[in-house]
Amino acid sequence: MTGEKLSAVELELAKAMVAALNLDLAAEEIDPEMALYGSEGLGLDSIDMLEMALVVSRNYGFQLRSDSADNVEIFRSLRSLSRYVEANRTK
């Protein structure tokens, strides 16, 4: 659990992540710097990442490409994902 307050976009993304991936925690409990992928942090897998890419596309109006070399950094944490969304969103 985090003591750090989430930004509006971080909270929005965390809520979408919890709903889309059926996570067993509240969006507010996600540490914005916690690893999203792999055995550390939230432990999401590649299918979860694809689902989140679809959520981002639907909610923010831009595509995340599965072959992008930037994906490791984009999906490093909730904070890095929210920064990317804020910089690239069209809606």
CATH code, domain carrying 54: 1.10.1200.10
Domain count for the chain: 1
Asked whether residue 3 carries a pLDDT value surpassing 70, the answer given is no
pLDDT band of 40, cuts 50, 70, 90 = confident
Let me know if residue 49 belongs to a domain.
yes
Enclosing domain of residue 14: 8-88
Residues 60, 81: Cα–Cα separation, whole Å: 12
Q: Model's pTM, two decimal places?
A: 0.90
Region 8-25 average pLDDT: 96
Residue 53: CA atoms inside 13 Å, Cβ hemisphere, count? 17
Place of tokens 């992928």: 37
pLDDT tens digits, residue range 22-33? 999 999 999 999
Region 77-84 average pLDDT: 97
Mean pLDDT of all residues belonging to the chain: 92
* Residues 56, 58, 61, 63, Cα dihedral to 10°: 60
CA 56 vs. chain centroid, Å, equals 8
